[in-house]
Amino acid sequence: MYWYKAKNILIILFAVINILLLSLLASSHISAEKDAKKLQDSLVAVMETNGISADKSIFSAQPRKMQSFNVENMADDSISFAAAFIGGECSEETDENGVKSYVCGDKRLYAANGRISLVSAVSERAQTEDDVKAAKTFFDSIGVPLENTDYQIADTKIFFTYLINGDPLFINGLTVSMGDGAPVSCEGYLLKILDSASEPSKTRTVSDVMTDYLRDPTRPEGNVRVTDVKTGYAFLFGSPSVDFKFAEAVPTYRVTIDDKYLFYYNGR
């Protein structure tokens, strides 16, 4: 009898404790949201003082769980690579500036600073979906899978963007113009996405990134507008001319200003 009453009292006590804990958590969450809103309003005010406008909806994006990935650069500065890429026996040439290239027929291949550049005397033509398929087949044959990419056809060019877990790899893309099943011109990076390099963790907030932009000495002067903030990946070398065989693609924010200026900030 007494144990039954005591058990009921304990049940009621635990229920009260749970309600109190839930109330505290809710209060803490509401307080955190209010603090974040105040910080956001202060940031927007500072931005406006500096001539930077933005739709407040960009701040509504929540941090995401993302991880870094290892990437291999398949470009190689060797005559055997050039022969495989161009599809014939090549000769090596060096110009008066010390720039090395590989020549096969009417095609010339440069491989330097981690990227390739193929030029030829063959005229480029308008590209089609069949050319996209031909490009994927060709690059897959040299160990560069393009199946997991986004692409855009713009007249005589196909712009490929590598995807990592569905997110774009910024900056280091590949531009191709195809003809008769092989590239007649090509510029960019030959990359293969490997395994993950870190455990998933939350990205920084958009407010954090816009604070980076405010402090960026390279941002344009005068009145500008933030037109887009997007998450993706980048190598963040600090220079586009860095040569690499392996690199780590890290979560990155891309901030677009006036639909034309692009800025990249570490998302971790």
Q: Is the pLDDT of residue 263 over 90?
A: yes
- Do the Cβ atoms of 255 and 229 come closer than 8 Å? yes
Q: What is the pTM of this model?
A: 0.83
Show the tokens assigned to 200.
């998933």
pLDDT of residue 132: 98
Angle at 152 between CA 149 and CA 154, to 5 degrees: 150
pLDDT tens digits, 58-104: 888 899 999 999 999 999 889 999 998 998 889 999 988 888 999 99
Q: β-strand 91-94 against 157-164: which pairing, if any?
A: unpaired
Helix (H, G, I), strand (E, B) or coil at 170: coil
Q: Is the pLDDT of residue 29 over 50?
A: no
Q: Please provide the average confidence, as pLDDT, over all residues in the chain.
A: 88
Q: Is the pLDDT of residue 2 over 80?
A: no
For the chain, what percent of residues have pLDDT higher than 70? Answer: 85
How confident is residue 248, by pLDDT bands cut at 50, 70 and 90? very high
Q: Is the pLDDT of residue 34 over 90?
A: no
| Cα 66 to Cα 82, 200, 208, 230, distances in angstroms | 36, 5, 16, 13
How confident is residue 113, by pLDDT bands cut at 50, 70 and 90? confident
